[in-house]
Amino acid sequence: MKKVFIYFIAFLFICFILPALLTKFEMSANIETSSNETQENEAKTSEEEYVYNKYGTIKLLHADTNEVEEVELDTYLCNVVSAEMPVDFEKEALKAQAIVARTYTIYKINNKKHDNADICDDSTCCQAWISKEDRLARWADNKEEKWAKIEECVNETKGKIITYNNQPINAFFHSNSGGKTELPVDVWGGGTNMPYLQVVETSGEDGYTQYNSEVELTNEEVLEKLKTKYSDIQIDFNNEEDIKILEYTTSGRVKTIKFGNHEISGTEARSIFGLRATNFQITKTEGKVKFTVVGYGHGVGMSQTGADSMAKNGSTAEDIIKHFYVGVEIKEVNSI
Ligand SMILES: [Zn+2]
Cα of 180 vs centre of ligand 1, distance in Å, is 27
Cα of 167 vs centre of ligand 1, distance in Å, is 21
Same domain, 64 and 168: yes
Same domain, 68 and 148: yes
Residue 184 lies in a domain: yes
pLDDT at residue 36 in the model: 43
Same domain, 194 and 112: yes
Q: Is 25 exposed, middle or buried (0-12, 13-18, 19+ CB in 10 A)?
A: exposed
Q: Which residues contact 300 (CB under 8 A, 6 or more apart)?
A: 172, 174, 181, 182, 183, 184, 187, 191, 197
Cα of 100 vs centre of ligand 1, distance in Å, is 17
Residue 319 lies in a domain: yes
Same domain, 166 and 282: no
Residue 286 lies in a domain: yes
Secondary structure (3-state) at 244: strand
Dist. CA 223–CA 263, nearest whole Å: 14
Cα of 124 vs centre of ligand 1, distance in Å, is 8
Cα of 112 vs centre of ligand 1, distance in Å, is 9
Same domain, 264 and 287: yes
Residue 164 lies in a domain: yes
Dist. CA 191–CA 9, nearest whole Å: 92
Query: DSSP H helical segments within the chain, as ranges?
Result: 2-12, 18-48, 73-84, 91-110, 132-138, 143-155, 185-188, 219-227, 266-273, 304-312, 317-324
Cα of 125 vs centre of ligand 1, distance in Å, is 4
Cα of 114 vs centre of ligand 1, distance in Å, is 7
Cα of 324 vs centre of ligand 1, distance in Å, is 24
- Confirm if 88 and 139 have CB atoms less than 8 A apart: no
DSSP state of 176: B
Domain count, the chain: 2
Query: 148 φ, ψ to 5°?
Result: -60, -35
Question: HSE-up of 233 (CA within 13 Å, CB side)?
Answer: 22
Q: Full-prediction pTM beyond 0.85?
A: no
pLDDT at residue 137 in the model: 97
Same domain, 106 and 186: yes
User: Domain residues for 272?
Assistant: 212-294
Q: Left if phi > 0, otherwise alpha if psi is -120 to 50, otherwise beta: which for 88?
A: alpha
Residue 51 lies in a domain: no
Dist. CA 153–CA 114, nearest whole Å: 28
- Confirm if 69 and 60 have CB atoms less than 8 A apart: yes
Same domain, 73 and 148: yes
Same domain, 75 and 92: yes
Residue 50 lies in a domain: no
Cα of 117 vs centre of ligand 1, distance in Å, is 9
Cα of 85 vs centre of ligand 1, distance in Å, is 19
Cα of 126 vs centre of ligand 1, distance in Å, is 4
pLDDT at residue 26 in the model: 40
Q: Which residues contact 25 (CB under 8 A, 6 or more apart)?
A: none
Dist. CA 131–CA 62, nearest whole Å: 11
Same domain, 160 and 280: no
Same domain, 237 and 312: no
Cα of 123 vs centre of ligand 1, distance in Å, is 8
Q: Which residues contact 12 (CB under 8 A, 6 or more apart)?
A: none
Same domain, 129 and 256: no
- Ion ligand 1: residue ranges with CB closer than 5 A: 120, 125-126
Dist. CA 233–CA 224, nearest whole Å: 9
pLDDT tens, residue order, the chain (336 aa): 455 555 544 554 454 554 444 444 444 334 333 444 444 444 444 446 788 888 989 999 999 999 999 999 999 999 999 999 999 999 999 999 999 999 999 999 999 999 999 999 998 899 999 999 999 999 999 999 999 999 999 999 999 999 999 999 999 999 999 999 999 999 998 777 899 999 999 999 999 999 999 999 999 999 999 999 999 999 999 998 999 999 999 999 999 999 999 999 999 999 999 999 999 999 998 899 999 999 999 999 999 999 999 999 999 999 999 999 999 999 999 998
Residue 308 lies in a domain: yes
Cα of 118 vs centre of ligand 1, distance in Å, is 8
Residue 31 lies in a domain: no
Cα of 145 vs centre of ligand 1, distance in Å, is 30
Cα of 107 vs centre of ligand 1, distance in Å, is 12
Same domain, 174 and 145: yes
Cα of 229 vs centre of ligand 1, distance in Å, is 25
